[in-house]
């Protein structure tokens, strides 16, 4: 099976509640490889590109305000079936409905402050990753345990 790349953003509430390490640990324990990592303040033009599919929707301005309200951790992850695996680990978009044990189920209580973003498809990942990472920022390397993943 081919490896996929996916984008994960730990949103401002996840950063400001000090959940970065535990969230990253969950992905690594699952066997996903972090191939890109940075902390940044998302500027409005980046936020608008990232959420362009929601432009014109009633919640669009709230999305832009939220993602630009504080620091964000951007991660590019790689692994077999990584998009589906990450989505399962992240849980339902609405933290109040997310299963316990998922990232949103454990760290979020609403749809507005839902701690994390994860690409929902290969097409989304291919669009989103270059918004946050330039070509040279994604690393290509082998992990010693990859043959077991």
**Predicted model pTM:** 0.94
Spatial distance between the Cα atoms of 11 and 30, rounded to a whole number of angstroms: 21
Q: Are 1 and 81 in contact (CB under 8 A)?
A: yes
pLDDT per residue as tens digits for the range 53-69? 999 999 999 999 999 99
19, 50, 54, 117: which is the annotated catalytic residue?
117
CATH hierarchy code of domain 3-134: 3.30.70.141
Return the residue matching tokens 């933290």: 95
pLDDT per residue as tens digits for the range 22-52? 999 999 999 999 999 999 999 999 999 999 9
Catalytic residue status for 50:
no
**DSSP 8-state assignment for residue 138:** S
**DSSP 8-state assignment for residue 99:** P
């Amino acid at each position: 099976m081919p490896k996929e790349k996916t984008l994960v953003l730990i949103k401002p509430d996840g950063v400001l509640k000090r959940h970065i390490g535990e969230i990253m640990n969950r992905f690594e324990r699952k066997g996903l490889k972090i191939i890109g990592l940075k902390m940044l303040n998302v500027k409005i033009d980046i936020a608008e590109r990232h959420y362009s599919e929601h432009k014109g929707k009633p919640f669009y301005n709230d999305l832009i305000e939220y993602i630009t309200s504080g620091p964000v951790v951007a991660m590019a992850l790689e692994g077999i079936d990584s998009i589906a695996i990450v989505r399962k680990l992240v849980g339902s978009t609405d933290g109040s409905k997310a299963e316990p044990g998922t990232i949103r189920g454990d760290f979020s209580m609403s749809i507005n402050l839902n701690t994390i973003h994860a690409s929902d498809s290969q097409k989304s990942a291919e669009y989103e990753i270059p918004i946050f990472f330039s070509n040279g920022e994604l690393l290509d390397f082998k992990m010693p345990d990859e043959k077991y993943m």
